[in-house]
A = this chain, B = another copy of it.
Amino acid sequence: MTTSAQSDGANTFNNTSGESFSAEKYFATQPPPPSLEQDVARVKDFLQKQLQERRKVVLVTSGGTTVPLELNVVRFLDNFSAGTRGATSAEYFLKAGYAVIFMHRQFSLQPFSRHYSHSTHPFLDFLDINEPSGSSAPSFGDIAVRPEERAQLLEVLSTYKAVQRAGTLLTLTFVTVNDYLWLLRAVSQEMSLLGRNCLYYLAAAVSDFFLPRQKMSVHKIQSGKGSLHIEMDQVPKILKPLVAEWTREGFIVSFKLETDEDLLVPKARQALARYGHQVVIGNELHRRKFEVVFVSPKSASPPSASPALSTEIAEPPSADYEETWLTIDLEQNPEKEIEEDIVAELVRRHARWIDNATRNV
């Protein structure tokens, strides 16, 4: 991105296309996960159904990714994420009438079942065994839900069953950052056929670093040889080809998690300038349950008439961006989930995005 004083052809080429090339190089050198073809087939079926039923579709990515250090994986680098943001948001998107492709890290939280975490709200604790009391009772003890848990469970369960009947939730699973990258590329390429009717909600905590397969140790790294040195390569910036190639018309929302609040807005702007997408939601690690900031290019609402332009935003000055802070008061309303407001805001923005494109045709 820095323009060098000497106008050396080769250097310029490296500077402007290095990142895009490195995504290509990534997929050319790292093997796809074995389940990819099967997953893509499920995505195709799901999208056909949603197209026929004229539903908007959101891809929600959720949970952390792992970076295996060994081919026979024992150790890996991981990113902290229980998957709360993604699982909660998926429920609100479903409520808003979207179909949801929920692409999540194995064992991270999922919509609906998230209310019954084995650690914090184990479901075995709200089941009772009623001893048989008379001759008309079944011959063994009967299982019943405790009265105090009944109302919430009934609500969660009936929404869950309604979603299953409607066929509006598709769950895909990844573990490694490699699984994630391959899956994201394949799903977004399929979703592009929906044009502006698709939204990307990229809430997964994706590793910035990876260990190429070619550099991995085949067996478990042996300890007892002093300290451990790991040298990793950078994961390609996947937003670049996502915006520019795989899904040109989708409304794309990415996330920035920082522990230094001062970095939030500058890093969000930087990402928008670099990749040319629609929104970055910034969240600080310790405030993320009650405060986020939406950062977006001012030109994007209303967007320019030419869809091609949005893929080629240069690095504009900070006046070209706007921030919207979204805060909830958890003391006043402890049950409130900030994802409800995040999703409501995005549904509005996405509708405007679709609307503007239609008016400009």
A79, B78: Cα distance in complex, Å: 9
User: Could you tell me if A124 and B157 are in contact, using CB atoms closer than 8 angstroms?
Assistant: yes
Q: Judge whether A252 is part of the interface by a CB distance below 8 angstroms.
A: no
User: In this assembly, does A42 line the interface, its C-beta being within 8 Å of a C-beta of chain B?
Assistant: no
Query: Does B258 lie within 8 Å of A220, measured CB to CB?
Result: yes
What is the bound-complex CA distance between A116 and B78, given in angstroms? 25
Q: Interface stretch among A3-11, A65-73, A298-306?
A: A65-73
Q: Which of B143, B219, B286 contacts A259 (CB 8 A)?
A: B219
Report the minimal beta-carbon distance from A208 to chain B, rounded to whole angstroms. Answer: 3
B143 pairs with A153, CB closer than 8 A: yes
Write the chain B residue with the least CB distance to A75: B79
The reply to whether A129 and B161 contact each other, CB–CB distance below 8 Å, is yes
- The answer to whether A229 touches B230, judged by C-beta atoms less than 8 angstroms apart, is yes
Q: Which of A60-112 contact B (CB under 8 A)?
A: 66, 70, 72-80, 82, 106-107, 109-110, 112
**Closest CB in chain B relative to A68 CB, distance in Å:** 9
A72 to B66, CA, bound (A): 19
How many residues of A are in contact with the other chain, CB < 8 A?
63
Assess the B154–A129 pair: CB atoms within 8 A. yes
* Contact, CB under 8 Å: A66 / B78: yes
Task: Tell me the bound Cα distance from A157 to B131 in angstroms.
Answer: 13
Closest residue on chain B to residue A232 by CB atoms: B228
A contact residues vs B (CB 8 Å cutoff): 66, 70, 72-80, 82, 106-107, 109-110, 112-113, 116, 118-119, 122-124, 127, 129, 140-141, 143, 145, 150, 153-154, 156-158, 160-161, 173, 205, 207-209, 218-220, 223-224, 226-234, 257-260, 285-286
The 8 A-B residue pairs whose C-beta atoms are closest, nearest first, are: A208-B223, A72-B259, A209-B228, A78-B78, A113-B118, A228-B232, A230-B230, A219-B259
Q: Other than A107-B119, A124-B157, give 4 A-B pairs with Cβ distance below 8 A.
A: A72-B285, A74-B80, A110-B118, A113-B123
